[in-house]
Structure 1
Amino acid sequence: MGKSADNIPTVYDPKNVEEKWYKFWEDKNFFRAEIDENKEPFTIVIPPPNVTGQLHMGHALNNTLQDILIRWKRMQGYPTLWLPGTDHAGIATEAKVKEQIAEEGLTKYDLGREKFLERVWEWKEKYGRTIINQLKKLGCSCDWSRERFTMDEGCSRAVQEVFIRLYEKGLIYRGDYIINWCPTCQTTLSDIEVEHKQEEAHLWYIRYYFKDSDRYLTVATTRPETMLGDTAVAVNPEDERFKELIGRTVILPIMNREIPVIADDYVDPQFGTGAVKVTPAHDPNDFEIGLRHNLEQITVMDNNGIMNENAGKYRGMERYECRKALVEELKRLGLLEKIEDISHSVGHCYRCDTVIEPMVSKQWFVKMKPLARPAIQVVDDGRIKFVPERFTKIYINWLENIKDWCISRQLWWGHRIPAWYCDKCGEIIVSKTEPEECSKCGSQQLSRDPDVLDTWFSSALWPFSTLGWPDETEDLKYFYPTSVLVTGYDIIFFWVARMIFSGLEFMQDIPFKYVVVTGLVRDSQGRKMSKSLGNGIDPLDVIRDYGADTLRFTLSTGNAPGNDMRFYWERVEASRNFANKIWNASRFVMMNLEGYDGAEIDPEGFSMADKWITSRVNTLTREVTRALNNFEIGIAAQKLYDFIWSEFCDWYIELAKTRLYGNDTHDKLTAQYVLASTLEKTLRLLHPFMPYITEEIWQHLPHKGESIMVAPWPEYVEDLNFPEAEEKMGIVMDAIKGIRNIRGEMNIPPSKKARAVIRVTGQETGAALRDGENYIKSLAHVSSLEYIDEIGNVPEKAMAAVITGAEIYLPLEGLVDIEKEIERLKKEKKNLEGELARINGKLASKGFLTKAPAEVVQKEKEKKKDYQDRMKKIIQRLEMLS
């Protein structure tokens, strides 16, 4: 049963509710997943936020959607596991600690690896739970007893196991390859960690003279500083302009090095002059050309973007400083033919925005083609479904064109690569434990690889490493594969694809059945939220000022899978108003349950209104459940909003008032039962979206169980479907709305009862209106209803409302002073004529139309239409009154 209604606050204050109920849920262990072999589980693993992270709107959206699904399935009786955790975020966390120690005048090299990592762990322990605590404020019902961290002991063991197995299978290798290097973060980046931005730049045309000749080839480049490492000039073999030059030798300007002219299909004859410089050590495409033609790889700058010993006299210069000096030298020597302004795409580090430098480096790689094939197959055959489906094509296209994955990072914070090198013979030893001697030559002079693994390497194992793999734990056997992954489209390649091929490789099963893709939360102008624009909105500010339920409902409504959404404060206000509407309506119900003991009442004795609302909430149950099954969370939220606000609050509560205050005890009990049961069922449907307010109200209502979050999800019941009552009630509501509109237009106060004359043109409408007379009299403030058959019996000077199957007339005699009303309408007509003349004059002026901003012109046109509509209504009323 519920609590007493005596102590229900008049105003809903989230601050007094949210912390109380979250603690209650946690204390009762309602979030904890229990294994039940007789039931199918429902599992979600959280996209692990970085330990450096603060809750932002993207997190709030993603985690709200996950929590809605989890709470819904929990109420449906599934053993539900929402497994939480955080990611160690190698680059970001190391950067945070480097900033911290820099304030002490230290670098990580001053501390040394061991001491630096101690400081990182200290930082993690102090700040790493910030985002977890923020997720709790949002209302996330994760199983915190199973919380994981990508560098905890279990996950670390899984990472090591995966590396060794892939290495032994020949799918991990070490080799020289062109990589993306960030001079600021001092580490490699995978291709998908490079953000390409369109920038204004230059194309420099440089002359390369042939050996012992005054002829030359002109090449075009956007990065002249890399020419110091050129080892060829390439042309297209089909380009007739250069066929006779293939195989000849040119002299590399400044360096005076002889380099060949080669032919390669990669060269675009339309780019620049059709001849391109080839720098295998500093360009990924040139690297591939170099491999095909066995060209030397000359690296001309170091890891800091400083020109090295191979750069000749430019050694020690920063790369852009070198560019400037080199261009001046080429001008002086007469080798710079021209400079052309262009716009082109430039790769930037996704973390610090530094322009990346392609460099040849010895790195660790995963061979992707063998792993990609089965990952494509399981999506092709529908074992894994993307929601919305359009992301399937994007996923498959990426995997079909995938390159090997560079997994080594030049950091200290992360999973260290389990590889040792023999200083004597160069043998590579990959092992779980530190080897004592070289397995090839027996030398004990071994050095461990200093690099760590890409953070995404450990995240790729998240669906099974968090459940105990490589051990065959009970959790792993029961909860894997997981049910659904909710994630943003921006990490389909970073994370989703990698989890899929990892699950197939190590679990021989898919990691999840559905991938629900969310869009970005943008500002009201459609811009991406960012620090640079200063347009970010802190979810915690919204929670503090409006409550978590308001934020959750704002993010739920108007949300469609895969689509970006705009954040409007007006929608936040609307959600807050919705919460207040629920509270006020519920408070009314709770305050009017005196004498009601919670006993069920047979629907056979229900009134038309009782059957209508019972049928509507029954239909709502089916519609919300169907929408959630299809991951259409925005549609489910909107249906709840429309039902609660319009049908339950604005209609049924008003219809029930006369019965609650009447003398018929049975009728009052029936109204109390329908009010309480409809509200209770609706609260259960709403709970996944707005958990706090629903729990607070539910606890005051007659109920069974300890908490709404473990109460059963409502089910559609065929016997509670009353289509006839819905149809009749629809007609009655139309009649009430028609009469209300007339009263509003004529400014008739509620205190003045009107006489309604109804001309019925449809038999079913007439029956419905007669059955609903009491509702019409009560809600439309009508004293009597009179039915007529002939149009000739229509009263004079009456306003009409037309509904399906009937015309409703309100005689105005006695309701309004007709002479005064005619006078008022004439005055309003005259004012409108003046306004229309003014606007028509404006819109006829060429000066106004050409000089005024488009939105101002449009506003005037909208005003004109509004005035014309009002004028039409005034003329109609004057004709009727005269």
Structure 2
Amino acid sequence: FDIIFFWVARMMMMGLHFMKEVPFKDVYIHALVRDASGAKMSKSKGNVLDPLTLVDKFGADALRFTLAAMAAQGRDIKLSEPRIEGYRNFGTKLWNAARFCQMNECAWWEPFDPAETKQTVNRWIVGETARTAAIVTKELEAFRFNEAANALYRFVWNVYCDWYLELVKPLLMGEDDKAKVETRRTAAWVFDRMLMLLHPFMPFMTEELWTRLSESGPKRDNMLAVQTWPVLPDALIDAHADAEIDWIIRLVSETRALRAEMNVPPAARVPLLLVGATNESAARLERYQDLIDRLARLEYSTSAEAPPTGSVTFVLDEATVALPLDGIVDFAAEVVRLGKEIARLDGEAQKIRAKLANAQFIERAPEEVVEEQRERLGDAETTSAKLSAALERLKAAT
């Protein structure tokens, strides 16, 4: 690792001396790959991770994406099998999304102009694709491979798979043929762009999916490797569609989180009331009511003047969202449960603070152990704060 710089300097001098040319314009030297605890790999220590073994176990694409996602500039890579396994799961997520597209006959036949989409959710995902393509291109040009990989991870997993495919299910199963055709083409068009952007990181899986998806759509004349890099105009970003879908995502996410905090049974359908909302927010709730009810497991959702007794609430922009849980949740038992959990977390946090305040521990403990304790403290404090907020909601509801 230490001699790579000198090898580069030697090649530069030899190129200038013998060829009268600069042998390369850019040189990228990534940080040292260490084991999970941050120690340098050594055969004598027995902590070497053999890349061939990792490829056999997790796949070449999973290992390649892991190294790219962790290659932050100026920081060594702490490689471990659980990390690689996590990115293998990302590949599985991508593969399942491709199967979803195939089963729903998603294909984009020419002519297809993403700027002409009419459905709000399709305009939103087209804009997200343009935004992600710009970010990935910018980060790759700056050699920030980890930022590019993480932007793609977020887009594929969180945006496309977790939200877009869920949001379009009613359109794909609906009776509006025009909306159905548009959604199929949009889903396939976006998936193709995902494959193009992911190809430098996961060449084998993306090439395979590129070929497979041509079975239900236009035939591919060339391999994915020779396709033009996607450059999408900012005009594809629709601010109105962004605001609409962002509102739905935040409402559903907060509702799901509140249900989990209050220990609401997963199968229980609860009402949702939007209190003090503007006309725009009330109209959004009415417009996307069926979709919101399905995603948040609601009995129904509607606007109201005031939250009923026994409701837990959270704030969404200018409005208050209320979930009436009287008869669904045992408030007294939940207050006791949350109180015990908060006390346990606060006790754990106090012990960690005492350990971190000990100068001898900071001096003698390995850096990775100290960092682990700091992360545990942060997690305990964050969870305690969330549960304390949930406890206050419960007390306010009774």
TM over 0.5, shorter chain: yes
- 1:80-124 residue CA offsets vs partner (Å, 9 max, x unmatched): xxxxxxxxxxxxxxxxxxxxxxxxxxxxxxxxxxxxxxxxxxxxx
Instruction: Report if aligned partners of 2:117, 2:123 keep a CA contact under 8 Å in 1.
Output: no
Instruction: Report if aligned partners of 1:522, 1:529 keep a CA contact under 8 Å in 2.
Output: yes
Q: Which has the higher helix share?
A: 2
CA 1:559/1:670 → structure 2, altered by over 3 Å: closer, same or farther?
same
1:424 corresponds to: none
Instruction: Report if aligned partners of 1:523, 1:535 keep a CA contact under 8 Å in 2.
Output: yes
Q: 2:94 pairs with 572, 582, 597, which one?
A: 582
Paired amino acid for 1:643: F
CA distance, structure 2, for counterparts of residue 489 and residue 554 of structure 1: 23
2:321 paired with 1:808: yes
What SS does the aligned partner of 1:699 have?
A: helix
1:623 corresponds to: 135
Taking the TM superposition and a 5 Å limit, the aligned residue runs for 1:214-225 are none
CA distance, structure 2, for counterparts of residue 841 and residue 532 of structure 1: 39
CA distance, structure 2, for counterparts of residue 505 and residue 597 of structure 1: 54
CA distance, structure 1, for counterparts of residue 81 and residue 323 of structure 2: 42
Structure 2's unaligned 5+ residue stretches are none
2:10 paired with 1:498: yes
2:337 corresponds to: 828
2:251 paired with 1:735: yes
1:721 corresponds to: 237
CA 1:714/1:504 → structure 2, altered by over 3 Å: closer, same or farther?
same
CA 1:526/1:490 → structure 2, altered by over 3 Å: closer, same or farther?
farther
Paired amino acid for 2:328: D
Quote how far apart the aligned CAs of 1:757 are. 1.5
Instruction: Report if aligned partners of 1:489, 1:517 keep a CA contact under 8 Å in 2.
Output: no
2:190 corresponds to: 678
- 1:550-595 residue CA offsets vs partner (Å, 9 max, x unmatched): 110011102134542121222111111111111112111111117x
Taking the TM superposition and a 5 Å limit, the aligned residue runs for 1:450-529 are 490-493=3-6, 495-529=7-41
The structure with the largest alpha-carbon Rg is 1
What SS does the aligned partner of 1:786 have?
A: strand
CA 1:838/1:647 → structure 2, altered by over 3 Å: closer, same or farther?
closer
CA distance, structure 1, for counterparts of residue 143 and residue 386 of structure 2: 44
Q: 2:161 pairs with 635, 644, 649, which one?
A: 649
CA 1:760/1:731 → structure 2, altered by over 3 Å: closer, same or farther?
farther
Shifted more, 614-623 versus 751-760: the winner is: 751-760
2:109 paired with 1:598: yes
Instruction: Report if aligned partners of 1:504, 1:510 keep a CA contact under 8 Å in 2.
Output: yes
1:711 corresponds to: 227
CA distance, structure 2, for counterparts of residue 512 and residue 683 of structure 1: 29
What SS does the aligned partner of 2:248 have?
A: helix
Structure 1's unaligned 5+ residue stretches are 1-487
CA 1:633/1:580 → structure 2, altered by over 3 Å: closer, same or farther?
same
Q: 1:572 pairs with 76, 79, 84, which one?
A: 84
Percent identity over paired residues: 33
- 1:536-556 residue CA offsets vs partner (Å, 9 max, x unmatched): 111000011111001100111
CA 1:652/1:501 → structure 2, altered by over 3 Å: closer, same or farther?
same
CA distance, structure 2, for counterparts of residue 555 and residue 676 of structure 1: 28
1:756 corresponds to: 272
CA distance, structure 2, for counterparts of residue 758 and residue 783 of structure 1: 14
Q: Which has the higher strand share?
A: 1
CA distance, structure 2, for counterparts of residue 817 and residue 628 of structure 1: 51
Paired amino acid for 2:337: E
1:699 corresponds to: 211
What SS does the aligned partner of 2:27 have?
A: strand
Instruction: Report if aligned partners of 2:108, 2:188 keep a CA contact under 8 Å in 1.
Output: no
2:309 corresponds to: 796
Taking the TM superposition and a 5 Å limit, the aligned residue runs for 1:732-881 are 732-749=248-265, 751-760=267-276, 765-766=281-282, 768-788=284-304, 793-813=306-326, 816-818=327-329, 821-828=330-337, 831-832=340-341, 865=381, 869=385, 872-873=388-389, 875-881=391-397
Quote how far apart the aligned CAs of 1:608 are. 1.3
CA 1:834/1:551 → structure 2, altered by over 3 Å: closer, same or farther?
closer
User: TM-score, normalised to structure 1's length?
Assistant: 0.40
What SS does the aligned partner of 2:3 have?
A: helix
Quote how far apart the aligned CAs of 1:830 are. 6.7
CA 1:718/1:597 → structure 2, altered by over 3 Å: closer, same or farther?
closer
Taking the TM superposition and a 5 Å limit, the aligned residue runs for 1:546-557 are 546-557=58-69
Quote how far apart the aligned CAs of 1:690 are. 0.4
What SS does the aligned partner of 1:731 have?
A: helix
Instruction: Report if aligned partners of 2:276, 2:320 keep a CA contact under 8 Å in 1.
Output: yes
What SS does the aligned partner of 1:626 have?
A: helix
Quote how far apart the aligned CAs of 1:762 are. 5.4
Instruction: Report if aligned partners of 1:489, 1:518 keep a CA contact under 8 Å in 2.
Output: no
CA 1:850/1:723 → structure 2, altered by over 3 Å: closer, same or farther?
closer
Instruction: Report if aligned partners of 1:621, 1:714 keep a CA contact under 8 Å in 2.
Output: yes
User: TM-score, normalised to structure 2's length?
Assistant: 0.83
Paired amino acid for 1:718: D
Q: 1:687 pairs with 199, 202, 211, which one?
A: 199
Instruction: Report if aligned partners of 1:763, 1:805 keep a CA contact under 8 Å in 2.
Output: no
Instruction: Report if aligned partners of 2:174, 2:180 keep a CA contact under 8 Å in 1.
Output: yes
CA 1:809/1:521 → structure 2, altered by over 3 Å: closer, same or farther?
same
Instruction: Report if aligned partners of 1:738, 1:802 keep a CA contact under 8 Å in 2.
Output: no
CA distance, structure 1, for counterparts of residue 383 and residue 131 of structure 2: 41
Paired amino acid for 2:226: V
